[in-house]
A and B are shown apart, each in its own frame.
Chain A
C-alpha cells in the first residue's frame, strides 16, 4: 500500500512539474493580449508637416508592433471633429491616444473623458488644457517663436515693420510662437510696427490675409507665417505682389514650395520643426507608457528645431531636415 502511494505522489509531482513547464512556455508565447491599439489624431492629413509626422508614427508602429489608427479632420479648424475621433477611440477601446489639439480649450473635456476611460494621452505638437495628459512631445513653441524673431532680426534691413500671419487663436502653439516672436521683436528698437492677422490654416487664406495686411500697412517689410500652409500663403502673396527681396518672408516648416521660394529669394528663413520625430516619439512613448514607463507630463519632450536659410539650406543637416527620405 505504502509503496504504491509513494509512487503515486512522485508521479503527481512529475506531472505538476511538466504542467508548470508547459504553462510557462505557453505564457511566454502570448505576452499580453495582442498589440496595443493606439489612435493618432492629427490636425490635418494633407500638409507635408503632418504627412511627415504620420510617416514617423508608422515607423514606430512597425517597430513596436502597434495597432495604429490614424485620423484627422478635413481642415485645421474643426476641433469638434477631433472630439468625435476621441469619442470613437473611447468606443473602440483604444489603449492610448496620440493627440494634437486644434483647440487648447475646446478639446479639453473630451480628452478628460478619454483619460477617465483609462486611455493614455500623449500630446504632440500642440497642447490641450487638461491635467490628464501623460506625455507632451513637440517643439518648444515659445523658443521657436524667439528663433523666428531672431531670424527676422537677422534680415538685411534697418527698420522693421513686421506683419504676422497667425492661425486660429484657440490653438495653443500658434499663440506661444507669436508670444516668443513678439518678445524678441518688441525688445528691439529697430522694430517700428507689429501687425497680426489671424486666418484659418490654409495657404489661400493666408495669401489673402497677407495681402490684406500689405494693403493696410504698405510699410510692412517683413512677413511671418507661423505654420506650414501660412508660410506658403505668405510666400505666395509676396510673389504675387512681386515684392520678392523687398519684403522678407520668414516661415514655419519645410513645405517644398517654401523651399523653392527660398531658392528664388522670396523666403528668407524657415523654422524647421521635426514632425517625423513627433510622430515617431508620440507612438513610441504611447507604447512605453503602456509598458509601464512613467513620464513627467509637465516637461515637454523637445524635438529639435533649426533655422534654415539660403546659406545653409543644402548643407547635409539641412537636407535631412528639409527633405524627407520617403
Chain B
C-alpha cells in the first residue's frame, strides 16, 4: 500500500469495535459490581432480619410456653387442695426442660424443691437460682442470666431461672423455675445466615444466654463483642467486617442477635461475580474479534482489494485486466462500476491512439506529396541551361532522373515500396544533385541483393541524403563522398548513409532529430523517423553518429517487410 502510515480500514474497524466493546464491558462491569454489592448488602440485611424475625417468633413462643407453665404452677401452688407430689411427677415428666421448681419464703429461704435430679443437697452452701439480695427485682417477674444449677449433688446443668411472686397463702411467696439452657439449642443451633452466619441469644446486660458455640466461648476460644451488641438497637448494623442483626424479644429481657460476615456475604459473592463477569468479558471480546474479522472480510478486504486494483490500473492502464471483488452490496456495486469504467477507459484510450496514428499518417502522407519547390526550380533551371548550351544528352538524363524521382515519389499512393525502387529514387536524386553541384561529390551504393525485394517506407533515403549534401558536402573544399549501403541484420534491414563532410555537433543532431524542417518545405529527418516508428514501433527508426570535421553516419533500421499489405493497413 502506498500509505503505510495511515491506518487500514479493517484495523480501524477492529479497533473501534473492540475498543467500544471493552469500554462498554468495563463500565457495565463496574456499575454492575457496585449495584450488586449494594443489593447484596441489602439482601444480606433482609435475609438476616427475616431469619432473626423467625428465630424471635419461635423463641417468643417458647418463652410464652414457659410463662404459661409458670402461670399453671403459680395457680397450682396457690391451691391448697392439690396433691403436689402427684402433680409434679406428671409436670416434670412432660416438661423435660424444667430442671427444678422451687419455692421460697418471704425471706428468701428455700421451702420446697421439686426436681427429677433428686433431693436438694444437704450442705447447700450456694444457691445460684435465688439471690436474697435481688428480691426487689423479682417482684415483676425475673429471668436470670445462665448459671449452673447448684441445688443438687453430682449434677450441675446450665440453667436459666425464672422467678415470679406467689400470692401469699402459706409460707411460700416466690416460685423459681430452672430451665435447661441447652434446650434452647434446637431453636438456635440450626439457624444459618448465609453460609457461616449464625445467631445467638443475649440478655440486656450482655450475658450470652445461648450460643451455638457456647462452650468455645466459655473456654475462651471464641468471643463475641457482647458489650457492643448489648448496646445495639433493633435492626441491622455493619460493624467492621461483621453484620449484626438484632431483635428484642417480647419479654424485653433477651435479644436475638444474628451475625454474618461481610466477607462471606458480600466479598465472596462479588469476587465470584467478578470472576464470572471477567470470563464473560473475555468471551465477548473474543466474539468481538471474530465479528470484526468477519466485518473486515466483508467490508474492508474487498475495499482494499479494489484500491489495489485501482492503483494497478493507474500504473498500467493498457494491459490491466480487472477481476471483480465480492462483498456487501455497496462494494459489489462499486466494483462493477469500476469494471465498467476500466473497460470504457481502455476503449477510449485505444480509440484516441488510433485516431492519433491515423491523423499522423494522413499528415505525413500530405507532406510526402509535396516537393521542395526550390529543388524543382533549381533542377528545372539546370535543365533549361543545359538545353540552351545544346547539351541535350545531359538534359535528357536530368529530365529522366527527375521523372523517375516523381514517379517513385507518387508510387500510386502506396506508402511502402520495394527497397529496389527506394534505391532508384535515391539514385535519381543523387544524379540530379551531383549534376547541380558540378560533381563536388561522388557517391557509391553498396547493396545486399537479398534486401532488394523487401519493402520500405518511400522517401526514406532522400531526406537523409539531402541532409548529407546540405550540411555535409556543401561548402566542403575537398571532394565529398556519399556512401549508401543496405544490408540485412537478422530480422532487420539497415540502411546506412555516411558522408565525409563537416559533421554535426550533438546540438545539431538533436535539432535535426527533434523538429520539422522550418527552413524549407519537404520531408525532414524527423519526419522519416516518425514514420518508421509509427509503422514499425519504437525499436525502429534513425540513429545518427557524427563528429565535427569527420563526417556523419546515419543508420536507418526497419524490419524485413515481405508484403506491403501487412503494414499498409495500419
Contacts and interface: CB of A to CB of B under 8 A. Distances in A.
B26 interface: no
Contacts of A194: none
A-B pairs with lowest CB-CB distance, top 5: A320-B218, A21-B279, A276-B219, A323-B156, A325-B215
Contact of B220 (A24, A260, A304): A304
A326 B219 contact: no
A18 B284 CA distance: 11
B290 interface: yes
A313 B153 CA distance: 15
B286 A59 contact: no
Nearest to A264: B123
Interface in B198-257: 213-216, 218-221
Given A10-B290, A263-B126, A323-B148, A17 B279 contact: yes
B72 to A, nearest CB: 28
Between A256, A304, A313, A324, the greatest number of chain B beta carbons within 10 A of the residue's beta carbon is seen for A324
A260 B153 contact: yes
Interface of A: 3, 6-7, 10-11, 13-14, 17-18, 21, 24, 55-56, 59, 256-257, 259-260, 263-265, 274, 276-277, 280-281, 304, 310, 313-314, 319-326
A14 B283 contact: yes
Nearest to B125: A263
A9 to B, nearest CB: 9
Interface string B269-281: 0000001000100
B372 interface: no
Contact of B287 (A14, A280, A324): A14
Contact of A256 (B123, B155, B218, B286): B155
A277 B220 contact: yes
Interface of A is mostly: helix
Contact of B219 (A6, A11, A277, A310): A277
Given A263-B126, A276-B219, A324-B215, A319 B283 contact: no
Given A6-B293, A256-B156, 11 more contacts: A17-B283, A21-B279, A21-B282, A257-B154, A260-B154, A265-B123, A274-B220, A280-B216, A321-B218, A322-B148, A324-B215
A322 B219 CA distance: 10
B147 interface: yes
Nearest to B272: A28
B179 interface: no
Given A277-B219, A314-B148, A314-B150, A325 B297 contact: no
Interface string B288-325: 01100110010000000000000000000000000000
Contacts of A10: 286, 289-290, 293
Given A10-B286, A257-B154, A319 B148 contact: yes
Interface string B135-175: 00000000000011010011111100000000000000000
B73 interface: no
Nearest to A320: B218
B128 interface: yes
Between A10, A314, A324, A325, the greatest number of chain B beta carbons within 10 A of the residue's beta carbon is seen for A325
B182 interface: yes
Contacts of B148: 314, 319, 322-323
Given A323-B148, A325-B215, A14 B286 contact: yes
Interface in B110-125: 121, 123, 125
B218 A325 contact: yes
Nearest to B298: A3
B221 A326 contact: no
B256 to A, nearest CB: 19
B280 to A, nearest CB: 9
B206 to A, nearest CB: 12
A56 B219 contact: yes
A55 B123 CA distance: 31
B176 interface: no
B383 interface: no
Nearest to A274: B219
Contacts of A59: 213, 215-216
B456 interface: no
A122 to B, nearest CB: 16
B97 to A, nearest CB: 15
A225 B220 CA distance: 26
A158 B534 CA distance: 150
A11 B283 CA distance: 11
B96 to A, nearest CB: 15
Nearest to B127: A314
A314 B286 contact: no
Contacts of A13: 286
Nearest to B280: A21
A80 B541 CA distance: 124
Contacts of A3: 297
